[in-house]
Amino acid sequence: MSPQYNQEFMSAELVCFSERCRAQYPITEPIYNCPRCGSLLEARYTGERTPAHLLKTLWRGRRTSNAPLDQSGVWRYREMIPFLDNYDSVVTLREGNTPLLPALKAAQYGGLDFLAFKHQGFNPTGSFKDNGMTCGASQAVRLGMKRVACVSTGNTSASMAAYSSAGGLQPIIFIPHGNISYGKLAQALEYGAKTFQVEANFDQILALVRTLADKLGIYLLNSVNPFRIEGQKTIIIEMMDQRDWNPPDWIVLPGGNLGNTSAFGKALRELCQWGLIEKTPRLAVIQAAGSAPFYDLMQAADRSSLHAVDHPETLATAIKIGDPVSWPKALHEVVASGGAVEKVTEQEIADAKAIVGLCGIGCEPASAATLAGIRKLTAAGVIARDADVVAVLTGNVLKDPDYIYRYHTGQLEAPGGVRIEPAFGNRPVVVPNDADKIAALLEG
């Protein structure tokens, strides 16, 4: 057995997120909600923490190491995700290690002096899900699970398929039929997932999968799984490391099921508690207007319950979710950070996405909601022009090439049939095999 790495200074348990309950369970219990009250669960660690300055040096040093755990941009920060007893069950594809890219054109478009993108599309399966999935899959292996399942708008299933197959688990995925991009579906098939295309929307399928998982003893790897959240914390930890532990003023991200918002908030709280940062950035969550229950919740006088959107609509299929399970955590984190929630139209997402492309960076539609949201929040004076802002691009540009082609050729239609006007369209030109004619076109 490989050496223990956290036992000597931290112990881990699952704790109910509800302030009124706070029931505690062993970290090895295969549960996703509190058996006593039904609320969400989160991992909690107690014991002596390694001092911040030692951690910073340790983590920096690991960047030059060839050990798989050190090369992973998740497990490099393992002192902050100490839920395993040893390294034996870790499934890693060297996830994380995603760049922080300054983008001047996008900053100008967003009404900012400066903007950097933390691009999670550089992950092994092309989305931020890999940061969480390495932890979820590792916990599944540790628990001795054989089969794992998820419902997905595409990226979770692609990631889960890859990590499960890499870890010797059987992946079973459930997706809304006809509502995910082919790039993502193709990944799940290629990585060997048993794939069910269900004729229902994401929220309906999640209920179905939870029943099946319970009945058949299959481990659930949706973002309700607290270990996924632990892994996604490292997006923020790595970003702070890349910024030499200088927190930005704002972190902007798209919101769907709200797992990532929960993870970012938990990361910020813990980084402060551990003394790794001194100031907490504000979180801005951006939703697609046709699928914005969290935006509605933030506007409401009474925030005690979320009103689900029964028929969510958006071409940004990754965030086409009407009943986000992690809303109680996300609400807590956004409010605690003094943050904001905004919603953006299909046209705004499409044009913002083209601008991200023109920076030479590119992303999938859901990710571009961040820049569209920044533009609105700066115009409204919520984010100041000179604020230091990091936007998280959640998925790779190649996840949804169909959307891109349609946009640039003027064929993209929003739900309801409204045509998107490609303000930054770039139509390919068909030409004869004739150098003179092509030269004339280029010079003309």
Closest CA to 383 of 118, 110, 117: 110
Query: In a 3-state reduction of DSSP, which class is residue 12?
Result: strand
**39 vs 394 by CB, closer to ligand F0G:** 394
In the complex, what is the shortest distance from the CB of residue 129 to ligand F0G, in angstroms, rounded to a whole number? 6
Tell me the residue ranges of DSSP E strands in 328-370.
340-344
Distance separating alpha carbons of residues 413 and 403, to the nearest angstrom: 10
| Shortest Å distance, C-beta 325 to ligand F0G | 9
Contact residues for ligand F0G (CB under 6 A)? 127, 129, 152-156, 223, 254-261, 318-319, 364, 366-367, 394-395
| Nearest distance from C-beta of residue 434 to ligand F0G, angstroms | 42
DSSP string, 302-324: --SS----SS---S-GGG--SS-
Q: Please tell me the distance from the alpha carbon of residue 370 to that of residue 344, in angstroms, as a whole number.
A: 9
Of 39 and 261, nearer to ligand F0G (C-beta) is 261
Cα–Cα distance, 74 to 81 (Å, whole number): 9
At its nearest, how many Å lie between ligand F0G and the CB of residue 4? 31
Task: Decide: 313 and 176 in contact? Cβ < 8 Å.
Answer: no
Of 55 and 324, which has the nearer Cβ to ligand F0G? Answer: 324
Q: Nearer Cβ to ligand F0G, position 139 or 153?
A: 153
**Which residue from 394, 388, 348, 387 is spatially nearest to 371, judged by alpha carbons?**
348
In terms of CB distance, is 72 or 157 closer to ligand F0G? Answer: 157
Q: Which is nearer to ligand F0G, 103 or 175 (CB)?
A: 175
Taking the complex as a whole, the smallest distance from the CB of residue 83 to ligand F0G amounts, in Å, to 19
> Shortest CA distance to 249 belongs to which of 154, 151, 103, 382?
382
Query: Cβ of residue 221: shortest distance to ligand F0G, in angstroms?
Result: 10
**Dihedral sign for Cα atoms in the order 355, 359, 364, 369:** negative
